[in-house]
Amino acid sequence: MVYLSLGSNLGEREAYLNAACKVMERLLRVELVRSEIIETEAVGFEGPAFLNMAVAFEAPVWLTPESLLDFCQSIEMELGRAPHQAEYNADGTRRYTSRTIDIDILKYDDVEISTPRLVLPHPQVASRPFVALLLKDLETKIEIK
Protein backbone atom coordinates (compact mmCIF):
# COMPACT_ATOMS: atom_id res chain seq x y z
CA MET A 1 0.00 0.00 0.00
CA VAL A 2 1.24 3.47 -0.90
CA TYR A 3 0.53 6.43 1.38
CA LEU A 4 0.83 10.04 0.23
CA SER A 5 0.22 13.33 1.98
CA LEU A 6 -1.15 16.32 0.11
CA GLY A 7 -1.16 19.92 1.24
CA SER A 8 -2.08 23.31 -0.18
CA ASN A 9 -1.86 26.80 1.29
CA LEU A 10 -2.41 29.03 -1.74
CA GLY A 11 -5.51 29.85 -3.76
CA GLU A 12 -8.42 27.44 -3.83
CA ARG A 13 -6.77 24.96 -1.49
CA GLU A 14 -9.44 22.26 -1.50
CA ALA A 15 -9.75 22.47 -5.29
CA TYR A 16 -6.00 21.82 -5.62
CA LEU A 17 -6.25 18.77 -3.35
CA ASN A 18 -9.18 17.38 -5.32
CA ALA A 19 -7.53 18.09 -8.68
CA ALA A 20 -4.39 16.23 -7.62
CA CYS A 21 -6.47 13.24 -6.51
CA LYS A 22 -8.41 13.14 -9.78
CA VAL A 23 -5.20 13.21 -11.84
CA MET A 24 -3.74 10.36 -9.76
CA GLU A 25 -6.83 8.21 -10.11
CA ARG A 26 -7.07 8.82 -13.85
CA LEU A 27 -3.42 8.41 -14.82
CA LEU A 28 -2.38 5.73 -12.33
CA ARG A 29 -5.72 3.92 -12.76
CA VAL A 30 -6.09 3.41 -9.04
CA GLU A 31 -8.84 3.96 -6.53
CA LEU A 32 -7.71 6.32 -3.79
CA VAL A 33 -8.79 5.96 -0.20
CA ARG A 34 -8.96 9.54 1.05
CA SER A 35 -8.57 10.81 4.60
CA GLU A 36 -10.47 13.72 5.98
CA ILE A 37 -9.15 17.19 5.12
CA ILE A 38 -7.74 19.17 8.03
CA GLU A 39 -6.35 22.69 8.37
CA THR A 40 -2.92 23.22 9.92
CA GLU A 41 -0.53 26.10 10.39
CA ALA A 42 2.47 26.35 8.08
CA VAL A 43 5.43 24.36 9.44
CA GLY A 44 8.93 25.77 9.14
CA PHE A 45 7.95 29.17 7.71
CA GLU A 46 5.46 32.02 8.06
CA GLY A 47 2.60 31.61 5.62
CA PRO A 48 -1.12 30.96 5.19
CA ALA A 49 -2.62 27.86 6.81
CA PHE A 50 -2.57 24.59 4.88
CA LEU A 51 -5.35 22.21 4.04
CA ASN A 52 -3.89 18.70 4.38
CA MET A 53 -5.06 15.22 3.57
CA ALA A 54 -3.59 11.78 2.98
CA VAL A 55 -4.44 9.14 0.40
CA ALA A 56 -3.67 5.45 0.07
CA PHE A 57 -3.74 3.06 -2.86
CA GLU A 58 -2.39 -0.25 -4.07
CA ALA A 59 0.61 0.43 -6.30
CA PRO A 60 0.33 -0.87 -9.86
CA VAL A 61 3.07 -3.42 -10.58
CA TRP A 62 4.80 -1.07 -13.04
CA LEU A 63 5.05 1.83 -10.57
CA THR A 64 8.37 2.21 -8.75
CA PRO A 65 8.96 4.61 -5.86
CA GLU A 66 11.17 6.75 -8.11
CA SER A 67 8.60 6.89 -10.92
CA LEU A 68 5.94 7.78 -8.34
CA LEU A 69 8.12 10.67 -7.16
CA ASP A 70 8.45 11.91 -10.75
CA PHE A 71 4.69 11.54 -11.22
CA CYS A 72 3.90 13.49 -8.01
CA GLN A 73 6.28 16.27 -8.99
CA SER A 74 4.71 16.49 -12.47
CA ILE A 75 1.26 16.87 -10.86
CA GLU A 76 2.62 19.63 -8.62
CA MET A 77 4.01 21.49 -11.63
CA GLU A 78 0.78 21.00 -13.60
CA LEU A 79 -1.10 22.58 -10.69
CA GLY A 80 1.15 25.64 -10.57
CA ARG A 81 3.98 24.73 -8.22
CA ALA A 82 7.47 25.82 -9.24
CA PRO A 83 9.91 22.99 -10.03
CA HIS A 84 11.59 21.48 -6.98
CA GLN A 85 14.79 23.19 -5.98
CA ALA A 86 15.60 22.59 -2.31
CA GLU A 87 16.80 25.76 -0.58
CA TYR A 88 18.57 25.95 2.76
CA ASN A 89 19.03 28.57 5.46
CA ALA A 90 22.49 29.63 6.66
CA ASP A 91 22.20 27.18 9.58
CA GLY A 92 21.63 24.27 7.16
CA THR A 93 17.90 23.82 7.83
CA ARG A 94 15.60 23.45 4.85
CA ARG A 95 13.70 26.56 3.75
CA TYR A 96 10.02 26.06 2.98
CA THR A 97 7.59 28.32 1.11
CA SER A 98 3.89 28.54 0.33
CA ARG A 99 2.63 26.34 -2.49
CA THR A 100 -0.46 25.49 -4.48
CA ILE A 101 0.11 21.78 -3.91
CA ASP A 102 2.63 19.62 -2.10
CA ILE A 103 2.61 15.84 -2.50
CA ASP A 104 4.88 13.72 -0.32
CA ILE A 105 5.35 9.96 -0.44
CA LEU A 106 4.98 8.84 3.16
CA LYS A 107 5.27 5.07 2.70
CA TYR A 108 5.56 2.73 -0.27
CA ASP A 109 4.75 -0.79 0.90
CA ASP A 110 7.66 -1.86 3.14
CA VAL A 111 10.29 -0.23 0.92
CA GLU A 112 13.18 1.56 2.60
CA ILE A 113 15.18 3.95 0.41
CA SER A 114 17.70 6.66 1.18
CA THR A 115 18.97 8.52 -1.87
CA PRO A 116 19.58 12.24 -2.47
CA ARG A 117 16.15 12.42 -4.19
CA LEU A 118 14.01 10.12 -2.09
CA VAL A 119 13.90 8.84 1.48
CA LEU A 120 11.29 6.23 2.44
CA PRO A 121 9.56 6.05 4.75
CA HIS A 122 9.32 9.84 4.75
CA PRO A 123 11.68 11.13 7.47
CA GLN A 124 9.34 13.86 8.76
CA VAL A 125 6.27 11.72 9.44
CA ALA A 126 7.06 11.53 13.15
CA SER A 127 7.73 15.27 13.48
CA ARG A 128 4.39 16.29 11.98
CA PRO A 129 1.58 15.18 14.31
CA PHE A 130 -1.14 15.99 11.76
CA VAL A 131 0.30 13.31 9.44
CA ALA A 132 -0.23 10.66 12.13
CA LEU A 133 -3.87 11.79 12.48
CA LEU A 134 -4.41 11.56 8.73
CA LEU A 135 -2.77 8.11 8.55
CA LYS A 136 -4.95 6.86 11.42
CA ASP A 137 -8.04 8.11 9.58
CA LEU A 138 -6.90 6.29 6.44
CA GLU A 139 -6.19 3.05 8.32
CA THR A 140 -9.73 3.12 9.72
CA LYS A 141 -11.20 3.62 6.25
CA ILE A 142 -9.06 0.85 4.76
CA GLU A 143 -10.16 -1.59 7.47
CA ILE A 144 -13.83 -0.80 6.76
CA LYS A 145 -13.45 -1.48 3.02
Domain ranges (residues) in the chain: 2-144
What is the pLDDT confidence band of residue 87, given thresholds at 50, 70 and 90?
low
User: What integer pLDDT is reported at residue 125 of this predicted model?
Assistant: 83
Q: What is the pLDDT of residue 93?
A: 67
Count of other CB atoms within 10 angstroms of residue 56: 21
* Residues in CB range of 106: below 8 A, 6 or more apart: 3, 4, 5, 54, 121, 122, 125, 131, 135
Confidence at residue 96, expressed as pLDDT on a 0 to 100 scale: 73
Beta strands in the chain (DSSP E): 2-8, 33-34, 38-40, 50-57, 87-88, 94-95, 102-108, 113-114, 119-120
Question: Quick one: CA torsion of 45, 18, 73, 52, rounded to 10 degrees?
Answer: 30
The second-level CATH assignment, the architecture, of 2-144 is 2-Layer Sandwich (3.30)
Q: What are phi and psi of 99, to 5 degrees?
A: -155, 150
* pTM, two decimal places: 0.89
pLDDT tens digits along 26-38: 999 999 999 999 9
CA pair distance 98, 115, nearest whole angstrom: 25
